[in-house]
Every structure is written in C-alpha cells, then in structure tokens.
Chain A
C-alpha cells in the first residue's frame, strides 16, 4: 500500500493530479463562502442606495425601507433611471445618479433637483476613490452644502460653476474648491454640468 503510494508520487502525472485536486477543493470552499455572503452584500448595497436617495432629498433616514416606500418612486426614461420624491401627492423633486472621472477613479453621486429643474436640492457622493483627507473631502457636508439652492439651468443650459479658494464667500455661480484637491472639486462641478446636460432635456420633455 505504502509502496504503491510512493510510486504514484514519483509519477509525472502526480503534480498535475495534486494541483487539480487542491484547486477543486479550494474553489469549492470559496464558492460556498461567496454564495453565503452574496445576499448580505446585495442587501447592504440596496440599503445604502435607498439611504442615499432619502438623504439627498433631505427626508428622514431612520426607517429606510418604510420611508423609501412612502416617499420615493423609481422611474425610467429612455433607459435613464431616476427617482422622484413625493409627499402628499406633491412632487418634491427628482434625483438621478451622476458620475464622472475624478483624480483617481470614477466618482458616483446622486443629484436632486426641484421639480422644475430650476435649483439643485442637494448632492450626495455615493462612491469615490479620491485621496483620503484631500479629494476625499468632497463627501464632507460643507462642500456638498454649497450646491444647495444653486440655480441649475440658465436659459435651459446647465450652469457651470466657477471655482474660488476655500473659505471665501461664494456668489451664486461660484463654488469653494477644496484646498489641495482642485482636480476632485472640479470633477464634481463638471460631472453635474455634463449629467444635467444629458438628463434635463429628456426629463423635462416628459414632465
């Protein structure tokens, strides 16, 4: 018995068989783990998205699922997905996913606008890979807050904000950029412009 085993281990096919067997075992284990975690990952992703949508409309984010049901309608137009927030059958506004290239990767955000597309309600950063502590500060409230109430369209064309240094007083067409993160700040402004250009004609035609 021991002799036979030894013989097979000297066989040229042994490494191949061994590698094959160990690969199958480990892939099996991994597939099981993957299946087990799949549901959790997906449900977290959805909850986060719902939370972001609620918060971009400044709705309560305590009871995420219930509030999402209650206030938010998910719609599609020409394959573009957007959300509408409704309270007491009055539309609060629209929100749509926007994205653009940041310094290190794609920045994804949600932008909410008033029903007539005249003003920005809020912006939430969903995903970004900017430098932590510098470009990563685009997620901070003070930076996002600057966009609130800003005029979105001038003569039906999206407004492109100009950048001024941090902590200076802004005019209606200006946004304070983050010190040390000009590119990331600019990326947010640009992606608002580009995406509104894409979304506003379609959505407004539909209203």
Chain B
C-alpha cells in the first residue's frame, strides 16, 4: 500500500471512532473545549505514531504470548512522556485535561492499531498508520468540541464568538451532550454509506 493510501484509510475510510467505534470514552470526556480536544488529539497522534513505530521495529522479537504486555509497556511509556512534557511546559492545559492524558494508555485505538497494523507492517508504514488514526480521532474530537464549546460556553478556543445575549446551554458543558453529539456524528457519517452499500 502507498503511504498516502495508508493514511487516508486509517484516518477516514476506516476511522477509529465512527467506523470502529473505538476510543470513544475520551472522545466523550474532553470535548467540551476545543483547546483540550486539540491537545488531547496531539497527544494521541504522538503516542500512536511512536508506539506504532517502536512496536513494528521490534515486532519480530516480541514473543507472541506476551505481546500485549510489551505493547502496553511501550504505549504507557510514550503516554507518560506526553504527560510529563505537558506538565513541565503547558501546566495549565495539563491541569485542564486532568487524568485524561494518563488515560490515553487505555485508549483502545492505540492498542487496536498496535495489534492490527504495527505488528504486521514495516516501522515507517506503522508510523503513518498511527498518525492517520490519530488525525481521524482528533478530527472527531474537534467536530464535537466545536458544537459543545460554541453552545455551552459561547466561545471557540476560548475566544468569545457569541454576544452577551447568548444563553449558555449547561447541557452542552456536561457529559450527556457528548453522547448525543457523538451518536449524531456517527449517524450522519454512516448513513449515506449504508444506502449505497
């Protein structure tokens, strides 16, 4: 497969969130602000790209029976690096994201890509695949956060876009709205496909 093809497939055609319904816990949790979603997305892209690369690099040496332990260790290490980096350099964002950065470790997308792709393909392809899956995930987060932030806070990336007349929708700030938004998004994207297929 060509690099571009790998990227498009893992980012959009086989998008982890709306095609595979993976990684939705964090998609629900951090999407009330665009900024948090973006940073979360970047963290996931970084982890996916590097864990994919590393796992693929040593894939021939990993004993089959303990491969999941090894994958978890590698993924966890990269996530902790992201967490430390944010804590040291962007403490405010790190505080806003709270435990969710650490919880990237449990994001099914990463383990999923490690099992489904990195274990069988070359390091560079795995990295492209990881970046693709991460971009697809970030895209979903940003779409949901766009709606939630604008209705819930009247802002985008913290900038006021709605005037004083705007009544903030508390529901959009709280978790339930993420369920609605994610469900609507999956519905909209998957509907035309179903009709064609």
Contact status of A19 and B70, CB under 8 A, knowing A40-B88, A133-B152, A133-B170: yes
A48 to chain B, nearest CB (A): 8
B: residues with CB less than 8 A from A are 32-33, 58, 61-63, 65-66, 69-70, 73-74, 77, 80-81, 84-85, 87-89, 91, 95-96, 98, 152-153, 168, 170, 173-174
Question: Which of A127, A129, A133 is close to B32, meaning CB atoms less than 8 Å apart?
Answer: A133
Interface residues of A in 12-27 (CB under 8 A from B): 14-15, 18-19, 22-23, 26
SS class of chain A's interface: helix, strand, loop or mixed? helix
Instruction: Please determine whether A15 and B81 come into contact, CB atoms closer than 8 angstroms.
Output: no
CB contacts (< 8 Å) of A30 on chain B: these are 77, 80-81
Give, as a whole number of angstroms, the nearest-CB distance from B50 to chain A. Answer: 11
Is the beta-carbon distance between A33 and B84 smaller than 8 angstroms? yes
Chain A residues with CB below 8 A from B32, complex form: 132-133
B63 and A18: CB pair below 8 A? yes
Known contacts A131-B174, A132-B173, A19 near B66 by CB under 8 Å: yes
Among A22, A40, A180, contact of B89 (Cβ-Cβ < 8 Å): A40
How long is the Cα–Cα vector from A36 to B85 in the complex, in angstroms? 10
A sample of 25 cross-chain residue pairs with beta-carbon separation below 8 angstroms, ordered by A number, consists of A15-B65, A18-B62, A18-B66, A18-B70, A23-B73, A26-B74, A29-B77, A30-B77, A30-B80, A33-B80, A33-B84, A33-B85, A37-B85, A37-B87, A41-B88, A44-B88, A48-B91, A127-B95, A131-B174, A132-B32, A132-B96, A133-B170, A133-B173, A133-B174, A134-B174
